[in-house]
Amino acid sequence: MDISSRLMKIVEMVPVSDTVADIGTDHGYVLIELLKRKKIRRGIASDNKAMPLEKARRNAAAENVAHLMDFRLGSGFETMKKGEANGAVIAGMGGILISELLESAAEVIRGLDFILLQPAQNPEILRKYLYEHHYKVIEEELVREDRRYYEYLMVKYDPTQSLRLGNHLDYVVGDLLLRKKHPILKEYLTSKITELEEIKDKIQLTSENAKRKSQEIDQKINELRGVRDGSTG
């Protein structure tokens, strides 16, 4: 079984645990690898579509770990009861969908020691949601695979965690990545700046609205440059 660097980072970040759920498991590779490495005792593979779940079951059988896994069909955490797993992984879905899945599962989430999130798009929307809903960010990571960058947030719901209202920059640049001067943070910020510059170049300044939009992008670019040039990673 060949596992990508994006998924391998998840395997590395998950702490040694009894039971871990993988929400939106698809191929099931994360749980299979965790079981093969004996980092977890059991895995709950959950997906809202039958075909991916079947794929996970076949892959697990091929790697001789299917007997250590449950395969559950349903959306988000609705396939789970509070206390069934120590931790959960949600990877490869957009930040908006991940926020919605967290929002609709308050009870199950209170029973988890960790949730490892790897948004495929809109990490800033997810970060805003987490900051505003009592999640503590325990660890953050960043991986480049081919030409794409992937962010990882290890979080825990903690009702004592004060709400944090930030600005755009707080949501785009992870605190912990900055604090530990992550080795690829600088190039990641450069890629974000390039993306914004490309968007700005496409704006035709024919209306007041367009001009405002262009100025807002300029401001975001300048903020990102400030962070990038101040970080030494």
Ligand X SMILES: C[S@@+](CC[C@H](N)C(=O)[O-])C[C@H]1O[C@@H](n2cnc3c(N)ncnc32)[C@H](O)[C@@H]1O
| Chain positions contacting ligand X, by CB under 6 A | 7, 23-26, 47-49, 52, 75-76, 91-93, 101
- Tokens 């825990």 locate to 156
Q: How far is the CB of 77 from ligand X (least distance, A)?
A: 9
CB nearer to ligand X: give 154 or 189: 154
Cα–Cα distance between 195 and 191 in angstroms, integer? 6
Q: Please, are residues 41 and 18 in contact by the beta-carbon 8 Å criterion? A: yes
Give the chain's end-to-end CA distance (angstroms, integer): 33
Residue 92 near residue 24 (C-beta atoms within 8 A): yes
Q: Which is nearer to ligand X, 77 or 228 (CB)?
A: 77
Q: How far is the CB of 22 from ligand X (least distance, A)?
A: 6
**For residue 71, which amino acid is it?**
F
Which one, 48 or 231, has the nearer CB to ligand X?
48
Q: How far is the CB of 113 from ligand X (least distance, A)?
A: 20
Query: What are the φ and ψ backbone dihedral angles of 50, each rounded to 5 degrees?
Result: -70, -40
Least distance from ligand X to the Cβ atom of residue 6, Å = 7
Q: In terms of CB distance, is 106 or 210 closer to ligand X?
A: 106
From the CB of 32, what's the least distance to ligand X, in Å? 12
For 173, the enclosing helix (H) or strand (E) is none
Nearer to ligand X, 96 or 203 (CB): 96
**Least distance in angstroms from the C-beta of 148 to ligand X:** 13
C-beta closer to ligand X: residue 74 or 226: 74
Q: Which residues contact 197 (CB under 8 A, 6 or more apart)?
A: 221
**b/e string for 203-226 if b means 16 or more Cβ within 10 A?**
eeeeeeeeeeebeebeebbebbee
